[in-house]
Amino acid sequence: HDDQIVRAPVVSAFDLLYREYDQSLARLNARLRPEDSRYKSEQNAAQVLRQVLSTSGCHALMVHHQVKLNQVASPNTPGLTDRERAFMARASCDFVIYFRVGKIPVGVIEVDGGSHDRPDQAARDALKNGILAKSGILTLRLRTVESRIEERVAEFIAQWASPTQDE
Nearest to 145 by CA among 113, 115, 102: 113
Q: What is the pLDDT of residues 56-82, one digit of tens each?
A: 889 899 999 999 999 999 999 999 999
pLDDT at 165: 47
Name residue 76's amino acid: N
**Does residue 66 sit in helix, strand or coil?**
strand
Residue 31 exposure: Cα atoms within 13 Å on the Cβ side: 14
Q: pTM above 0.85?
A: no
Is 44 within 8 Å of 147 (Cβ atoms)? no
Q: What is the pLDDT of residues 8-61, one digit of tens each?
A: 544 555 554 554 555 555 555 556 656 666 667 788 889 899 999 998 889 899
